[in-house]
Amino acid sequence: MLKIGYVQNLKIKEITMKGAVLVCDKNEETVTLAADLIPRNAKVGNKLEVFVFTDHFGNLVASLKKPLAEAGDIAYLKVEEFTHKGAFLNWGFIVELFSPRENIFYHLEEGKSYLFRLFANKEGKIRATTDIYDYLKIGSKYQKDDLVNGVVYKILENESVLVAIDNIYFGLIPKTENYTDLNYGDKISGRVIRVREDGKLDVSTRKKAGIQLMDDSEIILKKMKANDGILNLTDRSDPDKIKKELNISKKAFKRAVGRLLKDELIKKNEDSLALISTT
């Protein structure tokens, strides 16, 4: 049967003044490809790969041009316009893609891209929603320490962040690994720190311990050099203050400070740290 919102291989049943009548092999349900879109050498019996959709007039039609995503896909799409009725999205096609307000579950900014799931509504129109959670997959190909890419689609109250890995798989950045200012739609690069029993992935945007230790040490030194060689933090400082100043955890801060003390690059004062040499 014809599937609205999908790319399909359909056979040319007949060619008329209005266009090519296309049909599935399994039944007689047809759709029309406009006459000006028919390939020059097309003949009855040929198969064409087309995208089937409903046009502005409610007619079921076919196009040789394909959109960036089809029904059932989760796609990273740019918001062209955001109104009180909903969002108009750029999906690289001849008709606009609309996401009704009731299908949007966080604030969108015009010009920014977010993850949307596409679907065909009861009228056969292709629509989009930011609700993707139940449509992500588990049991990915990734293992612990693999590098992954994802997109933020939900920020939890406990400051953990849900990400869609490759726009396909469940991913979670736990609060203890969230030391960047992430927002909806942001792309992230991270490392798998755990594959759960249910197949979902825990991800960190921080590097492996040894490499991250060097990066954290550089962050501290850079901050000190920009502040006349002084950092008003110690291992007794509040974790939130450390995160605000350096965007790292207190545990990571203490490890990096220990490394810098051992290398005799800094020294401890009562309520601060100081560079031994600013050169």
Q: Is 264 helix (H, G, I), strand (E, B) or coil?
A: coil
Q: Judge whether 74-133 and 136-204 match in fold.
A: yes
Residues found in the chain: 279
Name which of 252, 173, 179, 269 is nearest 218 in CA terms: 252
Over residues 184-229, the pLDDT tens digits come to 999 998 889 999 988 899 998 875 555 555 777 888 888 888 888 8
CB neighbourhood size of 7 (10 A): 14
The pLDDT assigned to 279 comes to 52
Write the DSSP assignment of 184-215 as a string of letters: TT-EEEEEEEEE-TTS-EEEESS--HHHHHHH
Over residues 110-134, the pLDDT tens digits come to 999 999 999 999 988 999 999 999 9
The whole-angstrom separation of Cα 70 and Cα 152 is 21
Superfamily of domain covering 74-133: Nucleic acid-binding proteins (2.40.50.140)
Alpha helices per DSSP H over the chain: 209-225, 239-246, 250-262
> Which CATH number does 209-275 carry?
1.10.10.10
Domains in the chain: boundaries: 7-63, 74-133, 136-204, 209-275
CATH of 7-63 given 1.25.40.80, 3.90.1150.10, 2.40.50.140, 3.30.365.10: 2.40.50.140
Q: Estimate the share of the chain in helix, then strand, then coil, as percent rounded to the nearest 5.
A: 20, 35, 45
CATH domain 136-204 topology: OB fold (Dihydrolipoamide Acetyltransferase, E2P) (2.40.50)
The whole-angstrom separation of Cα 21 and Cα 42 is 12
Over residues 70-89, the pLDDT tens digits come to 999 999 999 999 999 999 99
In eight-state DSSP terms, residue 258 is H
| Amino acid in position 66 | K
